[in-house]
């Protein structure tokens, strides 16, 4: 029997309607002893692996002509925005558009039938967790989930993240992790022998949010080069704006305005990265002036949970910059307002009815991006 690595076996063509025997064979391939399957033992790396051709699933083609398992996806895990280049982004967005067609069709898809996704969320989530679970189910897969794992899992007993990952990978084919510590997703990916997706790691990064944000900008504005963005709110603690800054820097002629209270200004590592990438950026305290120049105003909430006992600093920052009807008056007609949600009072509800309010369309796009990532990580292109 030919030696197979887990990173190869999880990209094997999979029958969309497997029998119990089919699933047992697939499971044995994924979890065979080291004499048959060499351990992946992958230290996390940003390196992109070369594509290797695999056969296409004729059953998948017949069942859903839009999506078929093809050549291997370049990434083993999704950990941070720096992993992506423009070519991969364009290809992911093409698959996301295909996923939109699947979601809108009456027949749906079963290309991930027989696969299990585990969602480990150590911090609260609504959109990210539910969109991942919806994405998996809409593609025929199943979900193992734990909400508030910080309190209602063995982490409360002192179990390490690494031990949790080693345990859960025995039950699932892919792990989606949200954690309160920056760098936790990288640790999990270094431990796991199955794909890991970072669904937010403390104040670190949120790469799938950045992917859906850039996808939304493309859909709403019609281009990604030559965009002017205003990033507003909690820029020090907001992992969404950090990941977005990393990702949008892949494009040409980008201008970014940072608008935030002094206590939550964008950190120097992002500014240094943008400068190195040739991205023009500027800090401003005038939201109205910035909004009048922008294609995208990306508002974020001030994150109370990141302030600890310094409630005074939180109260000083909260409510300083609010997107309301006055901002709409100066915002260009073609521009959009985005927000990763949830919002508190940083966008007034009377803005919701304006066609430039894109944040709920943005949230829906998260479903398509996450469907695309699950398909690509488990089946390939």
> Does pLDDT of 304 surpass 90?
no
**Residue 205 preceded by cis peptide, ω within 30:** no
3-state secondary structure (DSSP) of residue 32 = coil
Global pTM value: 0.79
pLDDT at 94: 96
Q: Per CATH, which fold does 208-304+311-363 belong to?
A: Rossmann fold (3.40.50)
Q: Is the pLDDT of residue 44 over 50?
A: no
Whole-angstrom distance, CA of residue 96 vs CA of residue 189: 24
> In 3D, which of 171, 102, 180, 104 has the Cα closest to residue 143?
171
Catalytic residue among 56, 127, 150, 265: 127
Instruction: Based on the residue annotation, tell me whether 40 is a catalytic residue of this protein.
Output: no
Positive or negative, the CA dihedral 44, 49, 55, 57 is positive
**Highest-confidence segment of 155-159, 251-255, 305-309:** 251-255
Of 20, 55, 104, 157, the catalytic one is: 157
Cα–Cα distance between 143 and 250 in angstroms, integer?
Answer: 33
Rounded-to-integer distance, Cα 153 and Cα 110, Å: 31
d(CA 340, CA 362): 8
In degrees and rounded to multiples of 5, residue 6 shows phi and psi of -55, -35
User: According to the model, what pLDDT value does residue 366 have?
Assistant: 97
- Given this model, what pLDDT does residue 14 score? 35
Higher-confidence residue of 137 and 12: namely 137
Res 282 pLDDT > 70: yes
Identify the band that residue 308 occupies on the pLDDT scale cut at 50, 70 and 90: low
Tell me the average pLDDT of the chain: 82
Q: Select the highest-mean-pLDDT range: 58-62, 66-70, 116-120, 298-302.
A: 116-120
Confidence of residue 24 (pLDDT cuts 50, 70, 90): very low
What percentage of the chain reaches a pLDDT higher than 90? 61
Tell me which range, 27-31, 285-289, 309-313, is most confidently predicted by mean pLDDT.
Answer: 285-289
DSSP 19: -
pLDDT, tens digit (0-9, with 9 covering 90-100), for 289-301: 999 999 999 999 8
The pLDDT of residue 314 is above 90: no
**pLDDT tens by residue, 325-367:** 999 999 999 999 999 998 989 999 999 999 999 999 999 999 9
**In sequence order, what are the beta bridge partners of 336?**
296
Percent of the chain with pLDDT over 70: 77
For residue 320, the model assigns a pLDDT of: 86
pLDDT tens for each residue of 322-332: 999 999 999 99
* Alpha carbon distance 34, 15 (integer Å): 25
Q: What are 29's two structure tokens?
A: 């391939």
Active site residue 127: yes
For the chain, the domains span: 77-205+366-379, 208-304+311-363
Contact 17, 59 (CB under 8 A): yes
State phi, psi for 42 to the nearest 5 degrees: -100, 110
> Residue 55's CB: how many other CB atoms inside 10 A?
9
Name the class of domain 77-205+366-379.
alpha beta
Q: What per-residue confidence (pLDDT) applies to 17?
A: 40
218 flagged as catalytic: no
325 is catalytic: no
Residue 178 is a catalytic residue: yes
Residue 33 has pLDDT above 60, yes or no: no
Give one word for 380, left, alpha or beta, with left for phi > 0 and alpha for psi -120 to 50: left
> Is pLDDT at 50 greater than 50 in this prediction?
no
Q: Identify which has the larger pLDDT, 163 or 312.
A: 163
The catalytic residue among 119, 128, 191, 240 is 128
Per-residue pLDDT at 40 exceeds 70? no
Q: Which of 187, 206, 301, 370 is catalytic?
A: 206
Which residue is catalytic, options 10, 113, 138, 178?
A: 178
pLDDT score of 232 more than 70:
yes
Write down the pLDDT at residue 70. Answer: 64
Whether 208-304+311-363 and 77-205+366-379 are alike in CATH topology: the answer is yes
């Amino acid at each position: 029997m030919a030696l197979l690595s887990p990173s190869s076996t999880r990209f094997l063509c999979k029958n969309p309607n497997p029998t119990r025997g089919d699933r047992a064979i697939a499971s044995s391939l994924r979890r065979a002893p080291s004499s048959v399957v060499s351990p992946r033992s992958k230290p996390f790396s940003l390196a992109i692996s070369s594509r290797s051709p695999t056969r296409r699933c004729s059953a998948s083609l017949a069942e859903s002509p839009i999506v078929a398992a093809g050549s291997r996806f370049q990434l083993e895990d999704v950990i941070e925005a720096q992993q992506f280049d423009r070519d991969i982004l364009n290809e992911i967005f093409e698959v996301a558009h295909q996923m939109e067609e699947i979601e809108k069709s009456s027949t749906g898809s079963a290309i991930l039938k027989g696969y299990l996704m585990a969602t480990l969320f150590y911090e609260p989530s609504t959109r990210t967790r539910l969109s991942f679970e919806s994405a998996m189910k809409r593609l025929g897969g199943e979900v193992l989930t734990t909400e508030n794992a910080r309190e209602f899992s063995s982490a409360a007993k002192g179990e390490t993240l690494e031990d949790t990952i080693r345990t859960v990978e025995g039950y699932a084919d892919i792990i989606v992790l949200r954690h309160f510590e920056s760098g936790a997703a990288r640790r999990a990916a270094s431990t796991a022998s199955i794909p890991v997706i970072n669904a937010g790691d403390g104040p670190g990064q949120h790469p799938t949010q950045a992917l859906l944000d850039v996808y939304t900008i493309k859909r709403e504005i019609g281009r990604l080069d030559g965009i002017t963005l205003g990033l507003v709110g909690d820029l020090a603690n907001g992992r969404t704006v950090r990941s977005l800054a990393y990702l949008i820097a892949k494009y040409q002629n980008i201008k970014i305005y940072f608008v935030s209270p002094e206590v939550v200004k964008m950190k120097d590592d992002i500014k240094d990265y943008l400068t190195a990438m040739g991205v023009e950026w500027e800090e401003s305290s005038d939201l109205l002036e910035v909004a009048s120049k922008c294609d995208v105003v990306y508002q974020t909430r001030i994150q109370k949970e990141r302030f600890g006992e310094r409630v005074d600093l939180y109260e000083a920052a909260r409510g300083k910059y609010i997107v309301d009807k006055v901002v709409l008056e100066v915002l260009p007609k073609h521009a959009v307002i985005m927000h990763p949600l949830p919002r508190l009072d940083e966008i007034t509800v009377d803005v919701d009815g304006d066609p430039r309010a894109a944040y709920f369309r943005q949230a829906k796009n998260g479903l398509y991006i996450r469907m695309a990532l699950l398909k690509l990580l488990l089946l390939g292109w």
